[in-house]
Structure 1
């Protein structure tokens, strides 16, 4: 007589325990590193920034948003509403969740990411000559702010263009960045729907809506990269569903979006691995040629205008070696970054890694995981992964709603894991002051 398989609720509690043990071990390692006086370069390990305790009337916004999403999922509304409303609602919910968390610090919770010490401090250098700024970007790298020195020129040029359109308020700019970041949710859900079915996508919606990494969506330009990366992945999925020139055009679009993302973040190039794995998994390997050509177009276009992507990457790496490497221990940060990952992605990460082989969306998880492992293995993960890895976090939790065995029955939304993740986000926001 075989034992009855554990219920979904029991599995969730087991996953929560596994995540808590790993996160607790990571926090213990972080505490030991701090007590031992390790070179961490931050006062708020495992994150960057400083610690303080902030509780205000605005702190009630986040619990209200979290409660509304959890009730909607628990009552089954996300499975009964039309798909378009779930898609639109997911973007609205992520925006509200990120905004509610940021507003714990008032308006400053949004605008600190656009301070003069960040990308916004370099916008004035563009002046009336964006092409001149682009052509001298690498040679003048030492004159840029710390955020700009570690990235290609697209973030600064985007902010410059938006200001030229008449949007000069820091708060309005920050709200726009947050809104773009929130658009990644319906794009990801569309890709999940195509790969695993609509029921799986609906179950995954609350995982994205209340993701703990929303703490940094409202304070990081990397949220824009996350949205571009999600659009790229969806275009790649669409390419595998078409044939002939339609497939080729979708693949070229995926490549174009990857190239654009690479002009925002050097690490974004890793997102292309997800599409490569997808093409091979669906036996459409020839599409890699079209996506590869598409990816080259923005990069070569920028090179024609004076910005060589490889030279910029080299300058960013040299800056890393001079400004960060001597002050942050690679050994300790390799361990601490895993702790930051566990906290930023939340309990669904544990369930996802446990069930990765059971989801047809494994190419997305493999691509994101490869980027994370390379960053750690190469010694580049030395603080700040909570925003640098924003484009990867959603894909790392994609298997949280996978069946317990390949081809098994779909599982409901892991609301226990989602609720604990949302609670951890509220705690992080209350005690952490990020420098962005």
Structure 2
């Protein structure tokens, strides 16, 4: 009997499955090795490595909505993303993302899943009263970072520049007090990140790829940790900084460039690690270099906007560099100084697989192929691959730095969201969307996550 050789599409699909299978093995190894280390040495400080979670199978009030949203997105997402007018697609993606994130959070119930997440002893709402005099709090901020300092800040306050805490202080001053409002702020604001990524993809690659990516950005397993985590809000600010920069370089708009610079400056004062978003911004500038060359005022506007937030905080008395130096010391004083780098440097990547899902792993395989064949491949696909690769580089630098040992399922959200567009290169989107949605549902219903 003569065997027909497999076609190129079937070979590619098989390789996609192999890549996803290899990622599943990485996660399995991280779970088994992590359980052994934690059971014998107790040095990981997580109950269900590699993520901060406990094995607690459960359902909740959000379960029906989460299942329904996943099924509807798998069934109708690709078709609607291809057919809806662009101006309708963006709010539809945002709305569906809000429902997906919130329904997953509500699997744990309103209080545990939303209202209490940002009120625990490590979180921002614990220090609202200490910011009644904001200028004085900024001037004295670095004096409370170290564990042995008087009235040291809670972990998340000390671990971030003060713009993170000030966000929740401003919400409180506006009358939106308590964990419920803070949690919903993170959910609603964080969900806009998918819209920002779509805007950037359309500007830098093309609309077809942006539309193909839309259902994957909505149904991302990352939603498990976006509701409710302040890192979801940070991810949205960073994503809009990149999106506005993409509009600026492709349209030659100084206004968009200035707004992008403002958001990039804010991003650096929300989280120290988000300075690595500069790698993604650099990729945008490379992709839009022709527009920048035609209108150098775009770059000038970007730089002018970029200095506004740092200048404001510096004039108010906050020293970013001194704060970061002290944070490195505090990191060594706490769990960060005990958690073994040799485990987390690769187990963090297993966390990234859980956050982005098997479809993203398969998509990253295809982006690698696109870059290797950049001379003969579709131009839009190569541009998308270049942008995704920049995000992957930022994630890997964060990993190698040793300042992200554990809890990267939330810390790396701002980078992970830019890996999801790789899924636009995949055929059979419903198959891969099913895998994404199923993973998120299993994670949220089998584990009681810390975020």
Offset at residue 219 of structure 1 (A) = 1.7
Measured in 2, the distance between the counterparts of 1:350 and 1:146 equals 32
Match of 1:183 in 2: 192
- Quick check: 1:355 aligned with 2:366? yes
Residues 58 and 373 of structure 1, relative CA distance in 2, 3 Å threshold: closer
Equivalenced residues, count: 421
* TM-score, normalised with respect to structure 1: 0.91
2:397 to 371, 374, 383: 374
Match of 1:119 in 2: 124
1:272 to 259, 275, 278: 278
Measured in 1, the distance between the counterparts of 2:359 and 2:333 equals 37
Deviation track 1:75-117 (CA, whole Å, cap 9, x = no partner) reads x222112111111010011111111111111112112321141
Offset at residue 412 of structure 1 (A) = 5.3
Residues 195 and 182 of structure 1, relative CA distance in 2, 3 Å threshold: same
Unaligned runs of 5+ in 2: 147-151, 372-380
3-state SS, counterpart of residue 113 of structure 1: coil
1:319 to 327, 330, 352: 330
- Quick check: 1:40 aligned with 2:44? yes
Please give the residue correspondences for 1:20-169 in structure 2 after superposition, counting only pairs within 5 Å.
Answer: 20-36=21-37, 37-38=40-41, 39-56=43-60, 58-74=62-78, 76-107=79-110, 108-117=112-121, 118-127=123-132, 129-142=133-146, 143-169=152-178
Unaligned runs of 5+ in 1: 403-410
3-state SS, counterpart of residue 196 of structure 2: helix
Match of 1:365 in 2: 388
Deviation track 1:165-217 (CA, whole Å, cap 9, x = no partner) reads 11124223211210000011111111111222222111111101100010011
3-state SS, counterpart of residue 307 of structure 2: helix
The answer on whether the counterparts of 2:332 and 2:338 sit within 8 Å (CA) in structure 1 is: no
Question: Larger deviation: 316-325 or 386-395?
Answer: 316-325
Match of 2:19 in 1: 18
The answer on whether the counterparts of 1:278 and 1:363 sit within 8 Å (CA) in structure 2 is: no
The answer on whether the counterparts of 2:262 and 2:305 sit within 8 Å (CA) in structure 1 is: yes
Measured in 2, the distance between the counterparts of 1:236 and 1:56 equals 41
Please give the residue correspondences for 1:275-286 in structure 2 after superposition, counting only pairs within 5 Å.
Answer: 275-283=281-289, 284=292
Measured in 1, the distance between the counterparts of 2:7 and 2:310 equals 52
Match of 2:443 in 1: 428
Please give the residue correspondences for 1:214-253 in structure 2 after superposition, counting only pairs within 5 Å.
Answer: 214-243=223-252, 247-253=253-259
Measured in 2, the distance between the counterparts of 1:121 and 1:64 equals 36
3-state SS, counterpart of residue 163 of structure 1: helix
Measured in 1, the distance between the counterparts of 2:103 and 2:193 equals 18
1:172 to 181, 193, 199: 181
* TM-score, normalised with respect to structure 2: 0.88
Match of 2:204 in 1: 195
- Quick check: 1:386 aligned with 2:409? yes
3-state SS, counterpart of residue 414 of structure 2: coil
The answer on whether the counterparts of 1:102 and 1:110 sit within 8 Å (CA) in structure 2 is: yes
The answer on whether the counterparts of 1:204 and 1:413 sit within 8 Å (CA) in structure 2 is: no
Deviation track 1:320-343 (CA, whole Å, cap 9, x = no partner) reads 111123320000011111111111
Offset at residue 4 of structure 1 (A) = 6.5
3-state SS, counterpart of residue 395 of structure 1: coil
Match of 1:298 in 2: 309
Residues 326 and 272 of structure 1, relative CA distance in 2, 3 Å threshold: closer
- Quick check: 1:331 aligned with 2:332? no
Residues 248 and 54 of structure 1, relative CA distance in 2, 3 Å threshold: same
Match of 1:340 in 2: 351
The answer on whether the counterparts of 2:114 and 2:184 sit within 8 Å (CA) in structure 1 is: yes
Residues 186 and 301 of structure 1, relative CA distance in 2, 3 Å threshold: same
Offset at residue 122 of structure 1 (A) = 1.3
Measured in 2, the distance between the counterparts of 1:209 and 1:137 equals 37
